[in-house]
Chains A and B, each alone.
Chain A
């Protein structure tokens, strides 16, 4: 764990009057001033807004008001979450300059909890990528070694926390976009159960897979932030109609008697240093009183293929609205079809175009059954496999990423190599389950390694209990 202040301690100190929200914000803005040019975690730093909000919080505390569980906590938002009047770009030229007229539900919840919003973070364009190299505004650098990627697609949000620019941040995870950069940057990253956190105002990549979740320095911060952003939202039809779970309270309970699944048929591809840390995690949990059980997930090896049909198929439809007609950039042309084509050709980067084409093809008449339809069947198989595995295990442990953070350009020539970064994170999204990455020591080049904890639907409680034990053993 880093030596930056946690959200939990900031909120405590600000609420009790031991520190002012203003001083907390200045401390973080100062670090941004020192290192942001090098790291490029942000598409936009909202200093003035942050100072104003911090002053407001201090005034309210002075009046004796309860400003909420995130009192004065500086937070960064991935730039694919709508913020009223503040540009939301998805790191794409096609949305450059667009200002949403409304807030995402999570943004309203954070404000209501007293958080101070410091900026919009960089991402792979429309959250498509695993290194943040696909941003139209240039890559984000890993604060632990700026010759390396921070992971992606929420690389900016991971880097912002790792660099101390914000105490916590939000990312979105469609196939690993929170957990993988969390692992590569040495922070905690959580993808909650699909439907636990409202997607209203999250710019869609693949609607059936997307889920918002936190980055933090500590497991407790992640639990706190998840509690704040979770809960039913009538604006999102896929939102689970239940109140937010209580997670912070379970953290000290340990793993005594819990069954931790080890995947006997884990797909190959993880580096030895990563696997060594996974083994160490099993040892730590066993020592803490858990039982290690072998589980089989035979359809896991098909997950990546299924994902790269389902996610692009949905993306091809979700991204069709960027047509230059109503908002965003438009390239003028002599007729409608050329205007569409020229606008989209100029506005989207290569990876986005690749996925739109993949998805369009997968859904096309004559190909639907062989591609998209087959992928949906695989998706069901994966869910069935998980259901069988969770009959014997409370949670499952895998690596988060097959490797530690890699140098820039290492995987940009071959999209398939890049796609393999998400081999261990993708199955969770297909199943709609929760999963999180917890830093657990270091591997090659002294870069951090994350261990991934997978749990069944709404199994956040068990997942966080395990995470807390790993955190203290790391």
Chain B
């Protein structure tokens, strides 16, 4: 049984609905720019504003990006249709949203979490975004009770893909992993920048609990989750809330709940009985979207290597565990090919991974530092010519200058590898300064080595090679 952090016997069941904005130049049904952060109501046109007589025309590039998402998630691309979802709200200019309903473009896929858990993907369908309302005065940012509201239609008509998972997620950690992995895939295929903080990726969670082996419980949909961290917290809170209700003899009402970051709770937004009747019907202004097999195969063939495979490749290249933080981070930044280049330039891929993870956060997927220069640095380090501390200083200079010969930089700084006999001297001094640590270490307490190495490094003013120091200590102990 999996540790879900819940009281004994309770199983968590979560399905995730993720909306992503597609990285198209223009909107889903018109030629206005799809651009975040512009002056309000500048990226508009008759279609976006729902002016009388305006008609939607489907953006082919959006279809292509949606197919990339579907194919990357192992979906089948099918002939699909668009429906109208009818409801009144000021930021919905036509009073209906055009969305795929019973015939979505992508169906029946799955996503493998890094740990090997398979999460089914029911569908990944296309739809248009709404405008953005801001309410002023009155009650807490809602339209009801506010003094006035402003609407920005720049976002209206921005292409979205909604990715709906099966309720296969069993822990909050899996939910976090799912969203992280999904984001990595979306970025890798170039479909979206998938930034939760900018709203280009939004996640709702359908949460229910049940006793192991029991029927599915009633679910609540949690909205307003604005980060991966909040997603985990919201799911954990909601699961415990539901268990509390059930254990005290209550029942769960199907409803939409709002996650409040400030108090760390979910609150009722609307009950299902109050839900809109959206009166879906086939959008008569559009025709069927049926990408032909040739198009689908062209998109499939052009898909890049996906993050999971890239992590495996990088793990093999560097000899580092596939599930490690460093592998995940470097692949997410798209810097794995750079490490490959370092290796091809004769460098040490394992050391390169460490430096890239630590020092290349701002570099993007095409670091300015030539791969051969980092390769040279890792060779100096591997050969004991530079300590880790010295290498870091040299790398700092190299990054600043956008390149350079690490040996020359090290020489100019007076970094030189200390002769082993000199290090032996510092080791003697270190043992003398830390007799207790030495005794513990000799008694087999490995942790004690840290204090000894630290002292010795300090005595050498950082010039001793940590690996050499460790080797000498082990030798002296006789292990």
Contact = CB atoms under 8 A, between A and B. Distances in A.
A419 B254 CA distance: 44
A314 B282 CA distance: 10
Nearest to A339: B90
Contacts of A363: 86, 279-281
Nearest to B278: A365
Interface string B43-84: 000100111111111100000000000000000000000001
B95 A321 contact: yes
User: Chain A, interface size: which category?
Assistant: 35 or more
A266 B143 CA distance: 55
A316 B281 CA distance: 11
B172 to A, nearest CB: 34
Given A81-B53, A201-B53, A326 B93 contact: yes
B277 A200 contact: no
Contacts of B144: 335-336
Contacts of A335: 144
A95 B95 contact: no
B260 interface: no
B88 interface: yes
B363 interface: no
A325 B90 contact: yes
B52 A323 contact: no
A197 to B, nearest CB: 13
A326 B54 CA distance: 14
Q: Is the interface of A mostly helix, strand, loop or mixed?
A: loop
Interface stretch (B18-26, B284-292, B293-301, B465-473): B284-292
Interface in A292-339: 313-314, 316-317, 320-321, 323, 325-327, 335-336
Nearest to B94: A321
A104 B53 contact: yes
Nearest to B56: A237
B279 A314 contact: no
Contacts of A325: 90, 151
B50 A326 contact: yes
Contact of A372 (B50, B53, B56, B281): B281
B28 to A, nearest CB: 12
Nearest to A98: B52
Contacts of A364: 277, 279
B51 A100 contact: yes
A88 B52 contact: yes
Contacts of B143: 336
A101 B57 contact: no
A82 B53 contact: yes
B426 interface: no
A230 to B, nearest CB: 17
Given A102-B46, A360-B279, A363-B281, A320 B57 contact: no
Nearest to A88: B52
A399 to B, nearest CB: 28
Contacts of B151: 325
A368 to B, nearest CB: 8
A207 B284 contact: yes
Chain A CB within 10 A, most for which of B52, B57, B280, B287: B52
A144 to B, nearest CB: 32
A327 B51 contact: yes
A208 B55 CA distance: 12
Interface string A186-216: 0000000000000111111011100000000
Given A317-B86, A363-B279, A100 B53 contact: yes
A98 B49 CA distance: 14
A90 B52 CA distance: 10
Q: Is the interface of B mostly helix, strand, loop or mixed?
A: loop
Contacts of A340: 88
Contact of A317 (B46, B96, B287): B96
Contacts of A201: 53-54
A235 B57 contact: yes
B96 A320 contact: yes
A424 to B, nearest CB: 23
A88 to B, nearest CB: 7
A415 interface: no
Contact of B90 (A208, A238, A336): A336
Contacts of B285: 204, 207, 237-238
Contacts of B287: 237-238
A317 B279 contact: yes
B90 A237 contact: no
Contacts of A360: 279
A237 B57 contact: yes
A95 B84 CA distance: 23
A455 B61 CA distance: 38
Contacts of B57: 234-237
B53 A320 contact: no
Contacts of B281: 313-314, 317, 363, 368, 372
Interface string A253-279: 000000000000000000000000000
A100 B279 contact: no
A100 B52 CA distance: 8
Interface string A429-458: 000000000000000000000000000000
Given A336-B90, A360-B279, A204 B53 contact: yes
Contacts of A323: 88, 90, 95
A200 B281 CA distance: 21
B49 to A, nearest CB: 6
Interface in A349-406: 360, 363-365, 368, 372
Chain B CB within 10 A, most for which of A199, A206, A207: A207
A365 B85 CA distance: 12
Chain A CB within 10 A, most for which of B56, B277, B281: B281
A356 B287 CA distance: 24
Contacts of A100: 46, 51-53
B140 to A, nearest CB: 16
Interface string B237-248: 000000000000
A306 to B, nearest CB: 14
B313 to A, nearest CB: 43
A460 B46 CA distance: 32
A241 to B, nearest CB: 10
A363 B279 CA distance: 5
B51 to A, nearest CB: 7
A326 B52 contact: no
Contacts of A313: 281
Contacts of A81: 53
Nearest to A313: B281
Given A88-B52, A336-B143, A237 B96 contact: no
A321 B153 CA distance: 14
Contacts of A327: 51
Contacts of B50: 321, 326
A370 to B, nearest CB: 14
A365 B277 contact: yes
Interface of B: 46, 49-58, 84, 86, 88, 90, 93-96, 143-144, 151, 277, 279-281, 284-287
18 contacts: A100-B53, A104-B53, A200-B54, A238-B285, A238-B287, A314-B281, A317-B84, A317-B95, A317-B279, A320-B88, A320-B95, A321-B94, A321-B95, A325-B151, A326-B49, A336-B143, A368-B279, A368-B281
Given A101-B46, A238-B287, 11 more contacts: A95-B52, A100-B53, A202-B53, A204-B285, A207-B284, A238-B284, A238-B285, A321-B50, A321-B95, A363-B280, A365-B279
